[in-house]
Chain A
Amino acid sequence: MNEVTIVGLLVDVIAFGVLLYLAALGELVAEKAGVLNLGVEGMMAIGGVAAFWSGVQFGSPLVGLIVAGIAAGLLALVHALVAVVLGADQVVSGLALTIFGLGLSAFLGKEYVSLPPVEQFGTLPLGSLRELRIIGPILFDQPWVAWLAAALGFLTWFVLERTRVGLGLRAVGENAATADAAGQSVTVTRVAAVVVGGVLAGFSGAFLVLNLAKGWTEGVTAGRGWIAVALVIFGAWRPGRTAIGALLFGGLLALEPRLQTFGVEVSPILVSMLPYAITIGVLVVFSIQSRHRPSAAPAAIGRAYRREER
């Protein structure tokens, strides 16, 4: 292994990490408000096809990002209406969202299959920083979406932990009745959180299609949405820990196609299974810990809230 291979690998680790992090961050926001959204995979696919469409139409990745965010946000709104406003089962609604999103994106994207790539997210004008040996290409030559992901991660942490909005959102996810009694609107908070989660999944889909897959094919998401869901658990619902997890899981994704060239005799299927295996392991550790303290999971997750009169 020489320097070029290693740098190439690390560049990809960051890229895949960004892909997973954007989607996981969105899921984290929704889950912190007490709504499980298993529709990440479907929202990413919709975001991806929307970004590609807008790339063909307008040729601007920034517009693509915005369009992808809107499209996936609208899809998330469906989940919010069904699971939050109407109080239907979050698991069922989320799974339906994945199936629906995958199907719809395949239908909408039929004409785009095997079209040449559209314009990618470019790098930031960081000048000589990009020329630095090793860290130049790994950090400073990344598309600006990577910096956006890092900024969004920090912003999410800040809003959740340091603002009134975040305190209210976390309260809704822990105990909706208590938050309601304290004057926090459960429905508004949850709908907003789910939609924000959808927008971020859409960003992730756009980055996938424009920069990583470099084109649209049916099923381009290939289970990355599910890894993002697992990643939230791995990250214990914390933006910082989730970022570390994103790099770890991103590393596995980056390693998978390279294993053979490295001469490692491991089935790539085993490697692609690893994120889930690790997540199960982490869950086991959490469960053992939570015998002595409350679990890291938002307590009200998955539970619809209805205000009751006796």
Chain B
Amino acid sequence: MLAVELQGIWKRFPGVIANAGASLAVQAGSVHAVLGENGAGKTTLMNVLAGVYRADEGSVKLYGQERRFSSPADAIGAGVAMVHQEFRLIPTFTVAENVALGASPMMLRKREMEQQVADLADRFGLHTDPGREVWNLSMGERQRVEILKALWRDAKILILDEPTAVLTPDEADELGRIVAAMAADDRSIIFISHKLGEVTRFCDEATVLRGGATVASSLPVETLNAGMLAELMVGESTAVSQRRVRTNPATDTAVLAVENLTVRDLHGIATVDGVSLQVNEGEILGIAGVAGNGQRPLADAVAGLVDTESGSIQLAGEALSGTGPKARIAAGLAYVPEDRLGVGLAPKLTVTENAIIRSYGTTGSGPMVDRAIARDQCESLVDQYNVKIGGVDRPIAGLSGGNLQRLLVGRELATEPKVLIAAQPTRGLDVQGVKAIQDVLVAQAEAGVSILLISEDLDELLALSDRVMVMREGQVTAEFEASQATRALVGAAMAGSAHQEAS
């Protein structure tokens, strides 16, 4: 019996077609993988099923019955729950309070509620402590709370949106067992992923999306192999991530030198734990790792946005430790942060204002900004990096991800930095945008800029980097020369000690 049947789903957003006639059929009591690249329309399709978006066209059937959801609450009422990539939990509430929120009896009896949550958790092998406040929990534990929320509402159909992205390998294995227990209870699980390994381990069938449409539906996972899947997911234009050929090799002169750097988060946990690295002139050093293993605090610490506990940072021999971002910019540092719209750009400011926000010192004399100079600077950036904008005096909020990133990268490079930190520079961009940004990075390296490239896209790292370092739990756990770095080796190092010790 089919638990879910989506047919001919179309969903358009301004300027983007997210789903173009996508379909999906999920057997009751099975684990079904939905595969596809970033931007293939997986999340949109699932949001349609979960009542977050309404489809422009197409039909949604659950257990053979046609359904129309106007809100997530509707979908939950029909037994569909989604665990989003960003968890929707309240940190100051206990696990039990988060689980019961919106679905509790009028009077809350704490003990009883916690016992019920614990019983439910035990039934599916979800280890949790119902009385603890959520801010204490690891990402894996928080995810289990989200799953508990869905089970508490007796969801028959569970959508997990890239559930392993934030998990350690052990936690991912545990999730696999939980998913199996839920399927055995005749629930249907939709498992969004782009990792073949976990799909073959955890799932029964797989559907592949590309460009918003379904290109292969309900393949038994035993028939999947990496080559075929890559072809299905990427299609013909696989040219994006071929290993580049350097015409102008990196030198041995260290430009950025980080020694024994340690950063602690608000809870006192070392997110960066004694990291040392150096980036030579004209070199691209890639940092690989599962999300949340210290890449972001490392980038922020080098850029001067977070306080470091110990260690030193030098740029071309100049000590940066203890200085702020302004001094580091002056020393020749540029930063393309992971959070483009939050840290990199100001959404409500215009294209011009965003373009000059770092270099306003050169746009006129004294406290005044010379609008003509600002405009010229902005227009030359826009031309040089081929940014498609609605007008230089319009807010940037309406620009697409690719254009935002071109503007941001262009702005950071306008000061002719010696070192560029690029964190997830191509995440979420379309193929053209990815290529444009990667080309810029390579060109800058050829011109002698030292680049610290942080990416979760392993293919991108392998294609662009001269060396690849792997970060795990805040430490550098492995390092490879480009010539020796393979997917398998780097992937094993990312996954952690268990695999390394075994080899």
Whether the Cβ atoms of A168 and B93 lie closer than 8 Å is no
Please give the number of chain B residues whose Cβ is less than 8 angstroms from any Cβ of chain A in the complex. Answer: 26
Distance of A294 Cα from B266 Cα, bound (Å): 9
Whether the Cβ atoms of A182 and B108 lie closer than 8 Å is no
A127 at the interface (CB under 8 A from B): no
Whether the Cβ atoms of B88 and A181 lie closer than 8 Å is yes
B398 at the interface (CB under 8 A from A): no
Whether the Cβ atoms of B266 and A168 lie closer than 8 Å is no
Distance of A184 Cα from B103 Cα, bound (Å): 10
Stretch at the interface among A79-87, A159-167, A221-229, A252-260: A159-167
> Given the known A-B contacts A182-B101, A182-B102, are A174 and B107 also in contact in the complex, defined by CB atoms under 8 Å?
no
A292 at the interface (CB under 8 A from B): yes
Nearest residue, chain B, Cβ from A298: B92
B319 at the interface (CB under 8 A from A): no
In whole Å, how far is A179's beta carbon from the nearest beta carbon of chain B? 7
A294 interface neighbour in B76, B91, B97, Cβ under 8 Å:
B91
Whether the Cβ atoms of B97 and A167 lie closer than 8 Å is yes
A181 interface neighbour in B72, B92, B100, Cβ under 8 Å:
B72
Whether the Cβ atoms of B266 and A184 lie closer than 8 Å is no
Nearest residue, chain B, Cβ from A291: B266
Which residues of chain A are near B103, meaning CB under 8 Å? 182-183
Which residues of chain B are near A166, meaning CB under 8 Å? 108
Whether the Cβ atoms of B97 and A163 lie closer than 8 Å is no
Whether the Cβ atoms of B53 and A310 lie closer than 8 Å is yes
A299 at the interface (CB under 8 A from B): yes
Q: Per-residue 0/1 for B100-135: is the Cβ within 8 Å of any A Cβ (1 yes, 0 no)?
A: 111111111010000000000000000000000001
B1-45 residues at the A interface, CB under 8 angstroms: 13
A141-165 residues at the B interface, CB under 8 angstroms: 161-165
B107 interface neighbour in A163, A292, A309, Cβ under 8 Å:
A163
Which residues of chain B are near A299, meaning CB under 8 Å? 90-92
Which residues of chain B are near A184, meaning CB under 8 Å? 101-102
Distance of A165 Cα from B90 Cα, bound (Å): 16
B135 interface neighbour in A162, A178, A182, A294, Cβ under 8 Å:
A294
B73 at the interface (CB under 8 A from A): yes
In whole Å, how far is B147's beta carbon from the nearest beta carbon of chain A? 15
Whether the Cβ atoms of B13 and A183 lie closer than 8 Å is no
A133 at the interface (CB under 8 A from B): no
Central interface residue in A163, A167, A292, by most chain B CB within 10 Å: A167
> Given the known A-B contacts A162-B108, A292-B266, are A178 and B53 also in contact in the complex, defined by CB atoms under 8 Å?
no
Distance of A174 Cα from B92 Cα, bound (Å): 8
In whole Å, how far is A50's beta carbon from the nearest beta carbon of chain B? 33
In whole Å, how far is B398's beta carbon from the nearest beta carbon of chain A? 13
Which residues of chain B are near A162, meaning CB under 8 Å? 107-108, 110
Which residues of chain A are near B110, meaning CB under 8 Å? 162
Distance of A174 Cα from B133 Cα, bound (Å): 13
A163 interface neighbour in B13, B76, B106, Cβ under 8 Å:
B106
A62 at the interface (CB under 8 A from B): no
Central interface residue in A164, A182, A293, by most chain B CB within 10 Å: A182
Q: Per-residue 0/1 for A166-202: is the Cβ within 8 Å of any B Cβ (1 yes, 0 no)?
A: 1110110011011101111000000000000000000
Please give the number of chain A residues whose Cβ is less than 8 angstroms from any Cβ of chain B in the complex. Answer: 26
Which residues of chain B are near A177, meaning CB under 8 Å? 88
In whole Å, how far is B299's beta carbon from the nearest beta carbon of chain A? 22
Whether the Cβ atoms of B76 and A183 lie closer than 8 Å is yes
B231-268 residues at the A interface, CB under 8 angstroms: 266-268
Q: Per-residue 0/1 for B186-206: is the Cβ within 8 Å of any A Cβ (1 yes, 0 no)?
A: 000000000000000000000
B101 interface neighbour in A179, A294, A309, Cβ under 8 Å:
A179
Distance of A162 Cα from B109 Cα, bound (Å): 7
Which residues of chain A are near B267, meaning CB under 8 Å? 292-293
Whether the Cβ atoms of B88 and A167 lie closer than 8 Å is no
Distance of A183 Cα from B103 Cα, bound (Å): 9
Distance of A170 Cα from B92 Cα, bound (Å): 10
A178 interface neighbour in B88, B100, B106, B107, Cβ under 8 Å:
B88
Which residues of chain A are near B13, meaning CB under 8 Å? 310
Distance of A166 Cα from B93 Cα, bound (Å): 12
Which residues of chain A are near B266, meaning CB under 8 Å? 291-292
Whether the Cβ atoms of A183 and B102 lie closer than 8 Å is yes
In whole Å, how far is B29's beta carbon from the nearest beta carbon of chain A? 26
> Given the known A-B contacts A163-B108, A183-B73, A309-B53, are A175 and B90 also in contact in the complex, defined by CB atoms under 8 Å?
yes
B320 at the interface (CB under 8 A from A): no
A291-310 residues at the B interface, CB under 8 angstroms: 291-294, 299, 309-310
Whether the Cβ atoms of B106 and A164 lie closer than 8 Å is yes
Whether the Cβ atoms of A294 and B104 lie closer than 8 Å is no
Nearest residue, chain A, Cβ from B90: A174
B41-81 residues at the A interface, CB under 8 angstroms: 53, 72-73, 76
Distance of A183 Cα from B51 Cα, bound (Å): 13
B355 at the interface (CB under 8 A from A): no
Distance of A161 Cα from B72 Cα, bound (Å): 26
B89 at the interface (CB under 8 A from A): yes
Which residues of chain B are near A181, meaning CB under 8 Å? 72-73, 88
Central interface residue in A161, A165, A178, A309, by most chain B CB within 10 Å: A178
Distance of A241 Cα from B110 Cα, bound (Å): 21
Distance of A164 Cα from B104 Cα, bound (Å): 6
Which residues of chain B are near A294, meaning CB under 8 Å? 91-92, 135
Which residues of chain A are near B73, meaning CB under 8 Å? 181, 183
Which residues of chain B are near A174, meaning CB under 8 Å? 90-93
> Given the known A-B contacts A167-B97, A293-B135, A309-B53, are A178 and B104 also in contact in the complex, defined by CB atoms under 8 Å?
no
Distance of A163 Cα from B109 Cα, bound (Å): 8
In whole Å, how far is A171's beta carbon from the nearest beta carbon of chain B? 5
Which residues of chain B are near A183, meaning CB under 8 Å? 73, 76, 102-103
Distance of A64 Cα from B311 Cα, bound (Å): 67
In whole Å, how far is A295's beta carbon from the nearest beta carbon of chain B? 9
Distance of A292 Cα from B266 Cα, bound (Å): 6
Which residues of chain A are near B89, meaning CB under 8 Å? 178
Nearest residue, chain A, Cβ from B113: A167
Whether the Cβ atoms of A168 and B135 lie closer than 8 Å is no
Which residues of chain B are near A293, meaning CB under 8 Å? 135, 267
Distance of A178 Cα from B108 Cα, bound (Å): 19
Distance of A163 Cα from B110 Cα, bound (Å): 10
Distance of A184 Cα from B100 Cα, bound (Å): 12
Which residues of chain A are near B135, meaning CB under 8 Å? 293-294
4 additional A-B residue pairs with CB within 8 Å, beyond A161-B108, A167-B97, A179-B101: A168-B102, A174-B91, A181-B72, A293-B135
The 9 closest A-B pairs by CB, nearest first: A182-B102, A178-B88, A183-B102, A183-B73, A174-B90, A182-B101, A164-B104, A164-B106, A294-B92
Q: Can you report 30 residue pairs joining A to B where beta carbons are below 8 Å apart?
A: A162-B107, A162-B108, A163-B106, A163-B107, A163-B108, A164-B107, A167-B97, A168-B101, A170-B93, A171-B93, A171-B101, A174-B90, A174-B91, A174-B92, A175-B88, A175-B90, A177-B88, A178-B101, A179-B101, A179-B102, A181-B88, A182-B103, A183-B103, A292-B267, A292-B268, A294-B91, A294-B135, A299-B91, A310-B13, A310-B53
